[in-house]
Amino acid sequence: MFVTAIIAAGGRGTRFGGSQPKQLLALGGRSLLERSVAAFAALPIVDDLIVALPQELVDDPPEYLRGGARDGHAKPMRLVPGGARRQDSVANAFRAASAASELVVIHDAARPFVSADLIARTIAAAAEHGAAVAAVASRDTVKRVDSGDRSTGDNRIVVETIPRDTIYLAQTPQAFRRGVLEAALALADREQFDATDEAALAERAGHSVRVVEGEAANIKITTPDDLALAGAIASTSKPARTGRAGTGYDLHRLVEGRPLIVGGITIPHERGPLGHSDGDVACHAVIDAMLGALALGDIGRHFPDNDPQWKGASSLDLLSRAAALIAEHGYTIGNVDVTVILEKPKIKDHIPAMRTAIAGAMGVDVDAVSIKGKTNEGVDAVGRGEAIAAHAVALLSSGSSKL
């Protein structure tokens, strides 16, 4: 399923105050916006991102939003101008979504601590039920009051006490099948209906919205007091991760009539690797390194060469599947380092494209992928040009490495 993430960052934070948009405020050295974008960019299940921003930020975006996939981001990223209301910003972003998008997940940039698990659970619920919203149950007794004096807040009287087990406080992410969100936005436009979130629009359009259990740490930064709380969350969450390292190795004979594919890139040559899949030693070595880091066996266990479904398979696809498995086990990919051993042709001119392809398959930034080319100086089968080999090291971390 093709998943598009929309980051709603089109507001100016008037309730927060200050001289710059709230989403650019720094938290532990990184802005709220950067943290929110990074949370979705790191997930293999998210295919592309659209960020709705004030026009001046679209014209002159922060460095981490520049360039999209061609400039090193693991996923395509588009910037669109926001609107007067949140739903206008989301509508602008939705209009820019790829025709391939089947599911759209929306998140407020002002919620910088969203976890990979919460994003994945919300997407899964929307894929199954059509619409889903992250929400947390109210812990307090809920009172409905009359308005009193709106200017001073005086003379407010309790009208009723509402059972708190029926009250949930909505968060983001919120996710929708494409058709559900399209219908909800269209109805809101026709009726000139204002809503504070997309779930309310979907409800008004007649769709049921599944509640996904939210997270207490997934707070929204609205006031300076919230920023102080966010700083405490950021400082306490840093130590909560551990690292795992793994190594990988792969070798294939080179034969005529096969394309030479290394790191997902086809390199002109008269011979290519003999294998059940496309024989991409760089991808295979990285897969083994990642699996090894979590003691999950090797590539043959997960993609056996006697299974017809993997015959001729793209190793980039296998790498993407392996990265998804790593994410399912609660780990993120820190970096990988690959050494390709090949007598000829030289691969140095293809390394930038290889890094981009491998990073895209794993859902990481290009600077997390290193690839080096070596020869065997004429020694053994690799040195005689009869084979190609690769070694890889992968470093994984549990929890969020971005906080």
pLDDT digits (tens, 9 = 90+) for 209-266: 999 999 999 999 988 888 778 877 776 654 444 589 999 999 999 999 999 999 999 9
Residues of the chain with CATH 3.30.1330.50: 243-398
Residue 72: is its pLDDT beyond 90?
Answer: no
| Residues 6+ positions from 16 with CB-CB distance below 8 Å | 22, 25, 221, 222, 223, 224
Enclosing H/E stretch for 161: strand 158-162
pLDDT one-digit tens code per residue, 141-175:
999 888 766 666 667 889 999 988 889 999 999 99
Contact 265, 272 (CB under 8 A): no
Report how far residue 196's alpha carbon sits from residue 208's, in angstroms, rounded to the nearest whole number: 17
Report how far residue 292's alpha carbon sits from residue 245's, in angstroms, rounded to the nearest whole number: 8
Contact 180, 131 (CB under 8 A): yes
Tokens of residue 124, six digits: 């899964």
CATH class label, 243-398: alpha beta
Whole-model pTM: value is 0.59
pLDDT band of residue 97 (cuts 50, 70, 90) is: very high
Q: Please tell me the predicted confidence (pLDDT) of residue 236.
A: 64
Beta-bridge mates of residue 254: 273
pLDDT band of residue 307 (cuts 50, 70, 90) is: confident
Contact 343, 300 (CB under 8 A): no
Beta-bridge mates of residue 7: 51, 107
Out of 21-30, 157-166, 306-315, least confident range? 21-30
Residues of the chain with CATH 3.90.550.10: 3-237
CATH number of the domain located at residue range(s) 3-237 in this protein = 3.90.550.10
Q: Please tell me the predicted confidence (pLDDT) of residue 149.
A: 63
